[in-house]
Structure 1
Amino acid sequence: MSEETGSPAPSSISIYIPILYVVVLLTTLVLFSVAHRRKKLNKLVSMKPIFKDNYQREMYLQLKSQTEPKVNDKVLKAALIRRGAEAIRRMIKLKEIQQYVNVLYQRGSIGDDVYESFKLQSKLQELELNELAMEAESFKKGWAQTFFPVCQEVTINEALRRRLTSLEPMKQSLDHQWLKQVAA
């Protein structure tokens, strides 16, 4: 303030100073955001997946992209059903372990990286199922409604087949032990 008149003294700050401040602030925030997203993306990419490669998906995509010779629609549908069966099997596995993962995470028995990997895998499986529904609809309108029950049936049949084949060696082992007991 000026002592004689009691009015404020004129400011000598340039108008460019606040503008420069805002530009520097916004630039810093943008650079921080980009660096943070890169770090987060690298963390997601470096996560070890829960499931191994999805060969049924790769096989379907190769068949679909093949142009010479043109693949029969029945073969593509069969490959899509195999892909759907694998997706349903994976979704069932994730649903089975979801409760255990949540309990272990709440107790602190597993780290954030394992829990995040589980959540990411769940989201990827949901996206896979949505993609399968769109693929089924592209073959025939309304086929998605019957597509998933067929895939679930295939999944159940494969599980039963695996169980039956695992029982055969056990049966032979028990037969062998029984024959040893009877002979002794």
Structure 2
Amino acid sequence: MASLLVPALYLAVLVVALLVFGRIYRKRVAASRKLEPWFPSHPERDIYVSLLQCDPPAHDGLIKAALVRRAVADVHRIFKLREDKVALSNLLQRGSIGDDLWTSFLAAEKELEAEILEVVTESETFKQGWGNLIFQTAAEIVQNEKLREGMNKVFQSRPQLEAKHGVTKRIIPSITMNTTPPVQAQPAATPTATISSKTLQQSLPIPASPSTSDSPTSTSGQGPASPV
């Protein structure tokens, strides 16, 4: 039992010593080497600042457009940092990268936060409430740019794909138009009322016939009596 304990302790001490030496060595290398910025430059910010310092001053529309392009560049950097953070954290846990690279990444995150706050503050000087909408507009512009790039790649690779698969004729779907005029419905015949002669006679007023008692007649029935 004692013979197994001594080699185990020796290996444990050796592993701990190697870990401590590796950490100290990485810290010394990081301290001796100058950290490079994660993003080397920001040309959109420089253009916006130069427009503000123009003499005579630039048009407000041009300055606003430069500010929107600056926000679009910041959105690109946000997406880039999100993608890099997952990979860097995994590599750092495995010990594949040094602490200097992680420190540079954290510095880039803080710099981007300050940049976003500055863009929001600048947008509020032009219009009240624009700071809440400028990055939404910038995100929509980024999505449209990605969609346009994808469509351009498809159109550019189309000739190579057609040559690869032996497509020599493009099939263009044709749309046939129905030129037959629509059949117009015949108007329905209006029913005519037929009135019989008997009904007409019944509806007309019948004149009253003269009474026989009013006309002087003879008692014998041979004609009117002569006056006395």
Q: 1:53 to 1:173 in 2, by over 3 A?
A: farther
Rg larger in structure? 2
**Preserved contact between residue 72 and residue 141 of structure 2 (Cα < 8 Å):** yes
Q: In structure 2, which of residues 49, 53, 68 is the aligned counterpart of residue 61 of structure 1?
A: 49
1:96-175 matches, within 5 Å, as 96-175=83-162
Q: 1:97 to 1:173 in 2, by over 3 A?
A: same
Deviation at 1:97, TM superposition (A): 2.1
Deviations 1:111-158 (A, max 9, x none): 111111111111111111011011111111211011111111111112
**How does the TM-score come out when normalised to structure 1?**
0.68
Aligned residue identity for 1:154:
I
**Preserved contact between residue 72 and residue 138 of structure 2 (Cα < 8 Å):** yes
Aligned residue identity for 1:132:
V
Deviation at 1:181, TM superposition (A): 9.3
1:65-84 matches, within 5 Å, as 65-68=53-56, 70-84=57-71
Paired-residue identity, % = 31
Deviation at 1:52, TM superposition (A): 4.2
Question: What is the total number of aligned residue pairs between the two structures?
Answer: 140
Partner of 1:177: 164
Q: 1:58 to 1:115 in 2, by over 3 A?
A: same
What CA distance in whole angstroms lies between the structure 2 residues aligned with 1:172 and 1:59?
Answer: 39
Aligned residue identity for 1:61:
V
Deviation at 1:170, TM superposition (A): 2.2
**How does the TM-score come out when normalised to structure 2?**
0.56
Instruction: Write out the 4+ residue segments of structure 1 that deviate beyond 4 Å after TM superposition.
Output: none
What CA distance in whole angstroms lies between the structure 1 residues aligned with 2:149 and 2:105?
Answer: 25
Where structure 1 has 5 or more consecutive residues not aligned to the other structure, the ranges are 1-38
Partner of 1:19: none
Aligned residue for 2:83, secondary structure, equals helix
Q: 1:165 to 1:49 in 2, by over 3 A?
A: farther
What CA distance in whole angstroms lies between the structure 1 residues aligned with 2:54 and 2:105?
Answer: 33
Alignment partner of 1:48 is 2:13: no
Relative contact order (C-alpha < 8 Å, sep 6+): which is higher? 1
Deviation at 1:59, TM superposition (A): 1.1
What CA distance in whole angstroms lies between the structure 2 residues aligned with 1:47 and 1:167?
Answer: 40
* Greater Cα shift, 167-176 or 145-154: 167-176
Aligned residue identity for 2:63:
L
